[in-house]
A and B are shown apart, each in its own frame.
Chain A
Amino acid sequence: MTAVLELLGYYFLNVFEQTGLWFRMLWRTIRWTFRRPFEPREWLRQMVRLGWDSIPVVFLTSMFTGMVLALQTFNGFQRVHAENFVGSVVALAMLRELSPVLVGLMVTGRVGSSMAAEIGTMRVTEQIDALKALATDPVQYLFVPRVIAGIVMLPFLVVLGDALGIGGGYLVAVKLMNANSVLYEQNTYQFLELNDIWSGLIKAAVFGLILTLTGCVRGYYTRGGAEGVGRATTNAVVSASLIILFTDFFLTKLLF
């Protein structure tokens, strides 16, 4: 019993410690963002890496999610003769929820992990110390461009995901399930509000911040050689995914 309590205590302390560390690094990142020298070239490089290079993953994920969503809802809605509303459901679900969360999770797997691995390797090969020795703050040089890339590029990826998901849903409903194309299209846009779009984009920017900062923090505090880098990478993906899902609930509640 004591051992269980001890373990629980250790677990909670660890969670609090990590949360504190995360917010401290967030504060440091914010402060260093506005200090010279700025690194536009590095910012651009990270934006390309996070945004442009993630397009194939976002393309497949969003398109198939939209398609499967249309397929599933069409089956269900047909039973109550409401198949014309499939379009609205797909559009709302993609814009408000699925596109930001799925893009966030996919980019976490693709980019958050590689950031943790890259910065972690820099830590174990003394490159972070070398940065400091060259009078360069690692938070300014490594964190700031990555976090900015996340905040800026994720909304773009989500817009792409929205379009592809809605397009995929349309293809399945109209071409595969023979829904009325005019009605489907009409219903897709009829019930949409501007709030549906921007709430998804705000979520995307927040998820962009979470996944990049978590990847950077995990990498930065890597210890213990190759094994440590592996652990940091796994931790970055698991923690960022959990924080994204957790934050998603509260953001939805707040933005509704």
Chain B
Amino acid sequence: MISLQHLYKAFGPKQVLNDMSLDVERGESVVIVGGSGTGKSVTLKHIIGLLRPDKGKVIIDGTDICTLNPVELNAFRRRFGMAFQEGALFDSMSVFENIAFPLRRHTKMTEEQIRARVEECLAQVHLELSAGDKRPSELSGGMRRRVGFARAISLKPEILLFDEPTTGLDPVISDVVAELICEMDRTLNTTTVTITHDMKVAFKIADRVAMLFQGQIIEQGTPEVFQQSSNEIVQQFIEGRAEGPLTEIETVDRRKRLRE
């Protein structure tokens, strides 16, 4: 369904994606893990066409989205739902208006139908319609994510993208959000790509985990296979150790960049 083929992307002198390839099957839930600055968000933004690669192809259902013009890309994006790190809710609108926004723009639904669909989306993320009157600034971090999820699913997308869905949340709320993602993945029957650095969350929601390091996928497999990986970098990341090859390589890289 999603095929990232040999992606290269640099920002100035920094090469963020370096011959990165990844395939996601229809209905699969793939979690991309990796440290900060390894290009996880950049990868996600390539999938939905928010960024264009310097080289390589992003193929969604047989269409290379890098070749689409802005109007075609806009139309294509209706097949996606994306939940952003901090929710990225429109703060000039209420929760209800946020979720109704894509429905009002892209469908010919009546106000009644929109109301029913918003209620349905809120119920999917375990919120009631009464929460719809609140402004995004009045919501807690966890609530904001849920509303972000509700907005992402309002157009019934085929592909759901989650950008660091649990960052900055306490462990209990993180687990609740992870449960919610599992539930959405099951009930909505979508293809899901999530990026996170929280291994507990990753193992909970993934059919397949892929690790991104220095702009490349260095390991991927089912949670069980991934946990047994012989790659020392992967093991260091899973265990969250300060010492190991991951830290050493990054230190060398940092020094090299400073010298340049």
Contacts and interface: CB of A to CB of B under 8 A. Distances in A.
B85 A126 contact: yes
Nearest to A140: B74
Which of B88, B92, B155 has the most chain A CB within a 10 Å cutoff? Answer: B88
A29 B89 CA distance: 24
A135 B75 contact: yes
B106 interface: yes
Interface residues of A, number: 16
B68 interface: no
Contacts of B45: 129
B105 interface: yes
Interface residues of B, number: 29
A77 to B, nearest CB: 51
A131 B98 CA distance: 11
Contact of A126 (B70, B88, B106, B155): B88
A131 B105 CA distance: 11
A56 interface: no
A130 B106 contact: no
Contacts of A136: 74, 101-102, 105
Interface stretch (B29-37, B76-84, B179-187, B196-204): B76-84
A37 interface: yes
B188 interface: no
Interface string A122-152: 1001110111111111000000000000000
B114 interface: no
Contacts of B89: 127, 130
B45 to A, nearest CB: 7
Which of A126, A127, A133 has the most chain B CB within a 10 Å cutoff? Answer: A133
A137 B70 CA distance: 8
A222 B106 CA distance: 28
Given A134-B101, A135-B75, A135-B106, A125 B86 contact: yes
Rank and list the top 7 A-B pairs by shortest CB-CB distance, nearest first.
A130-B88, A126-B88, A133-B82, A135-B77, A134-B102, A135-B78, A126-B84
11 contacts: A126-B85, A129-B45, A129-B84, A131-B90, A132-B48, A132-B49, A132-B77, A133-B80, A133-B84, A133-B152, A136-B105
Given A35-B71, A134-B155, A137-B70, 20 more contacts: A118-B92, A125-B91, A127-B89, A129-B45, A129-B88, A130-B82, A130-B89, A130-B90, A132-B48, A132-B50, A132-B77, A133-B82, A133-B84, A133-B161, A134-B102, A134-B105, A135-B74, A135-B155, A136-B101, A136-B102
